[in-house]
Amino acid sequence: MKKLVLVIAIALMAMASAFSTTDPPYAHYLLGYVDSATDFTVTILENVLPFDLEGSEVAYNSSDTIVRGLRVGTYTLISNSTGFSFYIAHTPLELVANSGSEDGGTRTRIDYRLYMILNESSQKFKSCTFDANASDPKNAGKKIEIGASDFSTAPDFSDFKVISIINNSIYVSLDEGSQASTETAVSALKAGNYESTIYFLLEGN
Amino acid sequence: MKRIAALLIVLSCVFLLSAGTKTDEKKITAVKRSSTVGDPALEVQIRFMDSDNAEFAANADIGLPLNARDADYTVFSWVLSGNAWRAVTVSFTFSPMYREYEADPSKYIPYVVTMTPSSSRIGNTVIPVNSKSKAETGITTDFDSSYVIKYGDSFSATGTPLSVGQSNQSASITYNMSVNSIISQNGDEISGSSYDHDVCNFWNRMGVAVVHLGITADGEVNGNVVDDGIYYANVVVNVYVD
């Protein structure tokens, strides 16, 4: 029985190997789809993590139209169907227990605004703060929902569109509702390491 | 020499399977520095990412492409972070790459691993490896506002690239955070000054491990065809703070 499982695993690896990322033999990819398809990938820029909660880069952003924050990742979204929905929601940044000295404050969590850039040149974006139901992003109260209608400039082939969003940026800035409350919250945080989970769900047809 | 952490990672083959509805989750991390001026707690941590930049835990398997051959493959990268103001050493010990259920050393697959420090950061400012250019613009400490400290970002590597055949091999990288000089607010360096705190601003030190398998394009090692199967190599990572 063990041997049978091994054989199946090898077969699945063979199917998946065409999409494996290797460095450096394959510098570019050419993707093609038969029938409708949607897909996404998210890359977190680990070289900026953990970021400094007191850094100016992640300070409260008072603008509703301009993104000011720390670039923490990128995402790629590809679809040749208009019938897709991409949901994103996240938890707050919460203190990891027994991390650091945990002195200097009373608060153990802080909210932030997550920005998903829809168009890098126009800086069109969608954003959201944390939601308690973030692990179910489709049904979260505060979430980002991205659909085909958000990309009006995509070529329209009568009944379907081809959407190709490659490595668009993901930003974060701390957000407790206002600049004053955010600054107060930051100064009241316990010292230590904080962690947040961002959930992604893509439904396509 | 103080041992901070010991982690075990197993290299092996993994596979992915896609479906109509796709989900994913990613973690982002942040740090609030200690507010105890002059004596913050010393912190050092290390995290590992796979070739897709997804973090994986100790004891997790990370994979090479199926039928990997005579080429370079990024196996994992690491982020060493903390506030220790002294030498911090990351050591890597790699085992021979053996076939599952196979005890014959002649069946091992030789490989070469290269560990390369890639980038660094202080606070939210990324600085190039071996450069003080950003730091020279003035990154102040919390400990004494009358000084600006230029952080050195030197490192020394021992044993890399590492050739692994039939026995364990080790390499280490020492990030010498204690290499620095102190200048006053007007930019004049203070000769012979000593600033010997245990900690400094929070920093990151990145690095990447690239493996090159000793398998020919025809799937042979030393003229012998490599048997089908799953091959493993273990790597033990230790972090030491002087």
Q: What is the DSSP letter of A23?
A: S
Q: Which of A14, A58, A93 sits opposite B66 (nearest CB)?
A: A14
ipTM of this complex prediction, to 2 decimal places: 0.79
Distance, in Å, from the CA atom of A113 to the CA atom of A127, rounded to the nearest integer, reads 6
Q: How far apart are the first and last CA of chain A?
A: 36
Contact A67, A186 (CB under 8 A): no
- Is the model more confident about A162 or about B70? B70
User: In Å, how far from its chain's centre is CA A67?
Assistant: 15
Better pLDDT: A168 or A156 = A168
Answer yes or no: do A191 and B34 touch at CB < 8 A: yes
Q: Is B121 left (phi over 0), alpha (psi -120 to 50) or beta?
A: beta
Count of residues making up chain B: 242
B23 to chain A: which residues are within 8 Å by CB? 199-202
Q: Which of A16, A22, A50 sits opposite B17 (nearest CB)?
A: A16
Higher-confidence residue: A165 or A116?
A116
Nearby residues of A14 by Cβ (< 8 Å), 6 or more positions away? B66
**Which of A154-158, A175-179, B74-78, B146-150 has the highest average model confidence (pLDDT)?**
A175-179
Specify the length of chain A in residues.
205
Contact residues, A window 38-97, toward B, CB-based 8 Å cutoff: 38-58, 70, 72-73, 93
Question: Mind giving me the DSSP string for A153-203?
Answer: TS-EETTEE-EEEEEEEEEEEE-SSSHHHHHHHHHTBPSEEEEEEEEEEEE
Q: Spell out the residues 6+ positions from residue A91 whose beta carbon is closer than 8 angstroms to its own.
A: A130, A134, A135, A196, A197
The 3-state DSSP composition of chain A as helix, strand, coil percent (nearest 5) reads 20, 40, 45
Residue-level pLDDT at B145: 43
pLDDT of residue B223: 87
Q: Residue A62 above 60 pLDDT? A: yes
- Residues in A touching B29 (Cβ below 8 Å): 49-51, 193-196
What's the DSSP call for residue B101? T
Q: List, as ranges, residues 196-215 from B with C-beta within 8 Å of A.
A: 202, 204, 206, 210
Q: Are the C-beta atoms of B119 and B111 separated by less than 8 Å? A: no
pLDDT at B188: 54
pLDDT tens by residue, chain B, 242 residues: 333 333 333 333 232 223 368 899 998 888 887 655 444 567 788 888 887 777 777 777 877 877 788 888 888 888 888 877 778 899 999 999 988 887 888 888 999 999 988 766 665 554 444 333 333 334 444 334 444 455 555 678 899 899 999 999 999 998 876 555 555 545 555 544 444 455 666 677 888 899 999 988 888 888 888 888 888 888 888 898 87
